């Protein structure tokens, strides 16, 4: 599976390409439609792409997964190679850790941007709020998948659900 995220002046989005052992592909786009004032950045868009891909794979019953992304920082955070300096990134790392428990085997690796281009158009379309091409599953997130806990409270991760198909 490949994931990516993008942040632009028009918005933020992420994309996922699930590739089966028989080389069948499923394209999945996420538009980040966060509420005014909610933090969004390129790293957050990347993490939303990773979380969306993990949720989609879990909802499809996938138990072993190799994940490839072109964000060196994100891959190193998730593989515990770096420590986050930001509470928000720490919350995303924790969210990924919770979803990882749905899998028997999970490997996250960095790939060069040139090896992650296949569905780059999907990411650009999602971040710009443009319609997707036929055959792309699409979801709109109105709330981030992870946020730093507010003192005295905790947040919950939603169970994975199947993506919606856009025809």
Rounded to two decimals, the pTM is 0.77
Give 35-90 pLDDT, tens digit per residue.
Answer: 777 778 888 888 888 898 888 899 989 999 988 887 777 777 666 666 777 888 88
Q: Are 45 and 5 in contact (CB under 8 A)?
A: yes
The fold for domain 2-144 equals: Nucleotidyltransferase; domain 5 (3.30.420)
Least confident of 4-8, 105-109, 116-120, 135-139: 116-120
Query: In 3-state terms, what secondary structure has residue 44?
Result: helix
55, 96 Cβ separation under 8 angstroms: no
Beta strand pairing call for 25-32 and 105-110: unpaired
Residues 79/68, Cβ–Cβ less than 8 Å: no
Q: What is the pLDDT of residues 78-128, one digit of tens each?
A: 666 667 778 888 888 888 888 988 899 888 888 877 776 665 666 767 777
Ordered by start, the domain boundaries in the chain are 2-144
Residue 11's Cβ-side half-sphere holds a number of Cα atoms within 13 Å equal to 19
């Amino acid at each position: 599976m490949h994931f990516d995220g993008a942040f632009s002046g028009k918005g933020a989005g992420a994309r996922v390409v699930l590739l089966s052992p028989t080389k069948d592909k499923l394209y999945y786009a996420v538009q980040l439609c966060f509420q005014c004032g909610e933090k969004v950045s390129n790293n957050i868009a990347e993490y939303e792409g990773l979380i969306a891909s993990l949720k989609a794979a879990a909802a499809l019953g996938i138990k072993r997964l190799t994940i490839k992304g072109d964000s060196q920082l994100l891959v190193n955070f998730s593989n515990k190679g770096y420590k986050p300096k930001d509470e928000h990134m720490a919350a995303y790392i924790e969210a990924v850790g919770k979803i990882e428990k749905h899998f028997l085997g999970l490997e996250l690796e960095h790939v060069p941007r040139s090896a992650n281009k296949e569905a780059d158009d999907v990411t650009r379309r999602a971040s710009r709020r443009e319609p997707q091409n036929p055959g792309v599953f699409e979801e709109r997130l109105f709330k981030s998948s992870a946020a730093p806990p507010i003192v005295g409270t905790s947040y919950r991760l939603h169970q994975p659900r199947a993506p919606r198909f856009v025809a």
